[in-house]
Structure 1
């Protein structure tokens, strides 16, 4: 028995030894075969693998464009399908918005497009004329003007080129984060609009454009007071000129927030928001999600720290300077600099209060919003699709590609698609009867809450009593909880001109009076559906109440029959027994 077991063990060991020898021989043959392959083939395979990785990592779409015949992708339009006079009367006539967008073939990646815009951009050659504008709190910002005469070789002077009765449209441009009038995309837009024959003015943010900060107030993603003062100033100085506003990136967030705050009480005739972040809280979560987004986060934070270094004396007095210099993300900078200076409790509080998505429903000005679905900075997840669809004054245009503010097109990448779209939209809007006319209101700027916030609240007292509480107290408490720098008030500042200026202003107003009357009397073709909606709601409620009452009556009858049937049955039984 022992000999048999020992023989089996020996056989197994021999089998394993032979298996090991055969495996070694197989691996040796494999390595010998691999060594016969030229090294150039390995390098080619490595190159293909690296190229495949980069194609996926950088989100290239060249092959898709190639297989589709370089036709581009159609522009998606989101609007109110039942009562959008803006789409019917303006956007429907815009060929650019109803066409296709094909990116430059050698820039077929949102990251390559965005990087190319930042480092190259190919901006046109132009020269601004600077006007220093003094704000009510003592701050100073630079207004850089570009006139059509300057584009076509003429000269421009603020003292003699624009008069009170000039009807040439003015386009106010609000740059993005840490951008100013020297940015490539701003120059593309300004040159295109000025070449169209209109006047362009770029409102640089506080502390940018080479102008020092004069007060302890810095701009942030929700600070709309500077824009409001500039808009009111332009409207007062040039009351006959239609005023349009274009905001880009953070400037677009400021623009939409301002339009939602002021509602009808704004002199803006029309507006365009390009690549808005919409919801800053969602954007904050998005930009630190993937490796590439973290790269953008780091790059933008580097720009913000550079902006702070330009104004180190004030920042070091208002916040912890060492923490600011250590910022490695936008959230770090907002935590160490924006919140202490702007008097925000937390970063999330700052993001919630300054997000423009909450103000979309109250926009009363014709507004075109353009966003790229592959934007690597402002995610598509933050786009308020439903709010834009409900508001009859908004049309949202989305493209599959474009990057952040890039949208280059053509073989040479000398053209920017969204610039052409903005130029055509404003031109069609200007020639239509749908431009907004200011309707002044007094009081606070209406801050928007959702329908959930407007419903009754439940108040539970200490003794357990439950009572419904309206939302008026909540609104007041929300206003009181806001920091003083974020409270916005509507104050009508009447400027009294001297005699000579007053006579000129009266003459300008008398000359332009027929135009004003014509503008006011032109039909807007925007149906006022508020009163019919109220009647329909009341009728619907009464019908539901009537149906509920009928159901209640039948239910009570059923309960009465079921509960009284034993008594009725007993009584009937007694009666029939007596008869028998």
Structure 2
């Protein structure tokens, strides 16, 4: 386990690490959008930076819960990829690209079906291109699960997983206590609004597992996932969902080079997300830092112009 990250004195707090980056987004490079039609009648959108050329590497980026190519960490990664002459593409989870998806279902923490489709399409169109991927938070959990499911069949040459909630039940419980509830309230509100919009569509309302009045009472992830996420995506209940969708049990089956980065002070998580050595394959490199918050990792600069650890570490890993 490497100790490569150290926060500046003014950013030791996990909450500063987590919140401050939101207010200091870098400009997003110009992107071109590609829509992928899915076999079930839905779609996912890809945002590209740079031109894909067969034989040249492609970096695939998976955002976190309710994120997009506009998320602060995605913007920085896109700019870093551009600066390094690397073609990058953001895979948006269903409903996260700025346009509602077509079906009652949406996306969830263990949904590897869509990323498998995207990666398969990339491999088909660019068969000689090395494929790399970085996943943040929920997107990181999805990547961990994908890598474990696919094993040696994974089309990804190298993968980086950042601040992933690898034990969903423990993370949901953590977000019900202390200041962490602020993050839960913010994210739940966004999810509720999306569900209310679907309930307002007559062709979707009958397929929803809850009513508009019930949605407003689902104020924790545990409740929302039990009443909405689980039934919409084929799980028997929240416990079944958290057990089957958590990425941690899949790490032992990873057969392609994978880097996992966590901060021990992450306000979204508990120590239960930290895998033991015997829970990871030899292809997994694990970095646990004392500080860093949730997808933060401010490494220097000044409060009004912070600098970050993640992007340089990700580039170092995939190019190493």
What TM-score do you get using the length of structure 1 for normalisation?
A: 0.52
| 1:133 alignment partner in structure 2 | 36
Deviation per residue, 1:343-371 (Å, 9 max, x gap): 32221111001111111110111000000
Does the 8 Å CA contact 1:367/1:394 hold for their aligned counterparts? yes
The 3-state SS of whatever aligns with 1:409 is: strand
| 1:407 lines up with 2:297 in the alignment | yes
- State the shift of 1:326 in Å: 2.2
SS at match of 2:262: strand
2:311 aligns with 419
- Taking a change above 3 Å as real, the CA distance of residues 316 and 180 of structure 1, as seen in their structure-2 partners, is farther
1:216 and 1:370 map into 2 onto residues whose CA distance is 33
Distance 2:3 2:186 in 1: 35
Q: TM-score, normalised by structure 2?
A: 0.93
CA distance in 2, matches of 1:326, 1:427: 47
Q: Aligned equivalents of 2:171 and 2:247: distance in 1?
A: 12
1:256 is aligned to 144
Which of 188, 204, 207 aligns to 1:301? It is: 188
Aligned equivalent of 2:96, options 208, 214, 219: 208
Number of residues paired by the alignment?
314
Cα displacement (A) at 1:316 = 6.0
Give distance in 1, aligned partners of 2:34 and 2:163: 27
**Contact kept? 1:127, 1:146, Cα under 8 Å:** yes
Q: Judging changes above 3 Å, is the alpha-carbon distance between structure 1 residues 387 and 174 closer, same or farther for their aligned structure 2 residues?
A: farther
Structure 1 equivalent of residue 156 of structure 2: 268
Shift of 1:315: 5.3
Q: CA deviation at 1:210?
A: 1.3
Whether 2:248 is the aligned partner of 1:361: answer no
1:292 aligns with 2:179: yes
1:155-170 alignment, distance < 5 Å: 161-163=51-53, 166-170=54-58
Deviations 1:301-322 (A, max 9, x none): 1222133234332356412132
Distance 1:178 1:387, change over 3 A: farther
In the TM superposition, what are the counterparts of 1:26-37 in structure 2 within 5 Å?
A: none
Higher relative contact order (CA 8 A, sep 6+): 2
Q: Distance in 1 between matches of 2:274 and 2:136?
A: 15
Give the equivalent residue in structure 1 for 2:18: 114
Deviation at residue 103 of structure 1 after TM alignment: 1.8
Q: Aligned equivalents of 2:194 and 2:30: distance in 1? A: 24
Q: SS at the partner of 2:152?
A: coil
Q: Which has the larger radius of gyration?
A: 1
Q: 1:315 to 1:424 in 2, by over 3 A?
A: farther
Kept in 1: contact 2:104–2:198 (CA 8 A): no
- Equivalent position SS for 1:370: strand
Counterpart CA distance in 2 for 1:315 and 1:276 is 32
Contiguous gaps of at least 5 residues in structure 1: 1-76, 78-96, 148-160, 429-580
Q: 1:185-196 residue pairs with structure 2 within 5 A?
A: 185-196=73-84
Q: Indicate which of 184, 202, 208 corresponds to 1:318.
A: 208
Separation in 1 of the partners of 2:130 and 2:264? 32
Root-mean-square deviation (CA), in Å? 1.7
Q: Distance in 2 between matches of 1:396 and 1:238?
A: 30
- What do the CA deviations read for 1:83-136 (whole angstroms, capped 9, x no partner)? xxxxxxxxxxxxxx564x232433221112212123x03323422111111112
Q: Greater helix percent: which structure? A: 1
Q: Deviations over 1:484-530 (max 9, x none)?
A: xxxxxxxxxxxxxxxxxxxxxxxxxxxxxxxxxxxxxxxxxxxxxxx
Indicate if the aligned counterparts of 1:121 and 1:185 stay in contact, CA closer than 8 A: no
Q: Which aligned runs of 4 or more in structure 1 are off by greater than 6 angstroms? A: none
* Secondary structure in 1 matching 2:160: strand
- Secondary structure of 1:201's match? strand
Task: Verify the 8 A CA contact 1:253 1:277 in the aligned structure 2.
Answer: yes
1:146 aligns with 2:49: yes
Q: Which residue is equivalent to 1:336?
A: 227
Aligned to 2:241: 350
1:29-178 alignment runs, 5 A limit: 77=1, 99=4, 101-118=5-22, 120-147=23-50, 161-163=51-53, 166-178=54-66
Greater mean alpha carbon deviation, residues 213-222 or residues 419-428: 213-222
Q: 1:553 maps to what in 2?
A: none
Counterpart CA distance in 2 for 1:226 and 1:405 is: 23
Q: Which one of the candidate residues 393, 400, 403 is aligned to 2:283?
A: 393
Deviation, 1:193, is 1.5
